[in-house]
Structure 1
Amino acid sequence: MASIIISTDGDRVCCQSHQKETCDVCDMDWSHHNDLAATLKNTPELTPTDNTQCTITPQIARLKERGNKQFETHHYAESVQLYTQAIQLSFSRPLWQPFAFQVVREELTALLSHRSAAYFADQNYIAAYIDGEMVTRLKRDWSTGWLRKAKALFALQRTKEAETAASMGLRFAPKSDELSTLLSDIQKTL
């Protein structure tokens, strides 16, 4: 996935490589978003104050921390609920604020990865796979997303797809013992 930047005037999302809001080379079209953001930005009763950003981040961090504690004590359903609340809160960020897309993408990547692990531990492999898939789409070069996806696919007995996902993860983290072990286990069953 190509990277994005905020234009120098701070009003448009563009591809980083070519600084165009519609770029055929990067296969990106942010024109609709930019039009919507411009409309919302010029509507004073909809534009939040800067306090919104300050309150959302700590709330998300607290929910994630509580989810982690529930996960560590094997209360997987409770951890899923807390991660889900954090995900919903992240989505509530006003996307017309500068760099909101990058912040939300980073938050969602981590939160979906944690929730995938919780679903997996609770043996809800389909939900674990869906979250793992979303992580790989949000941050293609993050090996943890590929690990989550591969583990869920393997548990669903979709071994060829699991092998592909684990191999992809190893491309981004060639020294990962966890991915190497998983790939070896997958290949033994093929």
Structure 2
Amino acid sequence: MRPPDPVMQALIEQSFIPVDITLGTPDNVTAHCGPHSLEKCTDCDVDYTTLNRISKTLHMNPGLRCPPPPNVVSQKLSAAISNTKEEGNALFKAGQHEKALQRYTMAANIAAQRPPWEASQLMREELSTILSNRSAAYYELGDYVSALTDAESVITLKRPWSKGHFRKARALMKLEKYQEAKDAIQLGLSFEVGNSEMTQMLSDIDVVMRRLQSRPERRLKRDTAPPPLPLSA
């Protein structure tokens, strides 16, 4: 092996900060903060969650001496995710929204099992599409709170994608949160200017809001009413 560059070595040593850790189960392969024995500790400002996930995976697969490069993707896992999602899509198109919901949930669970060394963007792309479809299934089932929750998760995973903002606005409309729906659709349009579906929704929201403003007594009743209870999934 070539000897390390002395300048780079000096920079590494200069920036090195020792951390007090303890080793935890299973078999002392997980890291925790020394003072509190926590995997994620705000007092010590450390978070070993990702590191420990990799460590546990390697521990459970002793034949895997080191993680493969990020461009190596599990094709079997990709096929399972894609096939399960497509099964959900077929059920959704057939109007079987409850069964579609179950397939989307299974597809999301499989996608979340990708090993930590694979590119995180791949899992984000898969999950954003699956959760967008699941939001649509919740919407068709009348569970607008869950539809909103999934739409917000889509936005967290893939903020520039207008579909997440569209799903969010639709759910908010059903929950009678018209100003929030308008804000959501306007943000979506900022990422995809001229989208006809969202432009029409913005127009529909404006019509509803103008109608409510012309009837102040009804508006006051809406504003003071308790929020709707979440429906069963």
| TM-score of the alignment, normalized to the shorter chain, above 0.5 | yes
In 1: Cα distance, 2:102 partner to 2:169 partner? 23
Contact 1:83–1:115 under 8 Å retained in 2: yes
Which residue of 2 is the match for residue 58 of structure 1? 79
Number of the residue aligned with 1:173: 192
Q: Are 2:131 and 2:150, in contact at CA under 8 Å, matched by a contact in 1?
A: yes
**In structure 2, do the counterparts of structure 1 residues 57 and 186 end up closer, same or farther at CA, with 3 Å as the change threshold?**
same
Amino acid at match of 2:141: D
Shift >6 Å, 4+ stretches: 46-52
- Structure whose CA Rg is larger: 2
Post-superposition offset of 1:61? 0.6
Q: Are 1:40 and 1:47, in contact at CA under 8 Å, matched by a contact in 2?
A: no
User: Shift in Å at residue 55 of structure 1?
Assistant: 1.4
Please give the TM-score of this superposition, normalised by the length of structure 1: 0.76
Q: Tell me, which stretches of 5 or more residues in structure 1 are unaligned?
A: 1-28
Give 1:40 shift: 3.7
Letter in 2 for 1:94: P
Equivalent in the alignment of 1:39: 55
5+ residue gaps, structure 2, are: 1-44, 210-233
Structure 2: distance between partners of 1:164 and 1:132: 14
User: 2:90 maps to which residue?
Assistant: 69
CA separation of 1:106/1:30 partners in 2, compared to 1, >3 Å: closer, same or farther? farther
Given that residues 87 and 100 in structure 2 are in contact (C-alpha distance below 8 angstroms), is that contact kept between their aligned partners in structure 1? yes
User: 2 CA distance for matches of 1:30 and 1:138?
Assistant: 23
Task: Determine the structure 2 residue equivalent to 1:24.
Answer: none
Q: Deviations over 1:60-118 (max 9, x none)?
A: 111111100001011101110000000001111111x231x211111100000000111
1:88 match = 109
Could you say if the C-alpha distance between residues 159 and 31 of structure 1 is closer, same or farther in structure 2, counting changes exceeding 3 Å?
same
When normalised by structure 2's length, the TM-score is 0.63
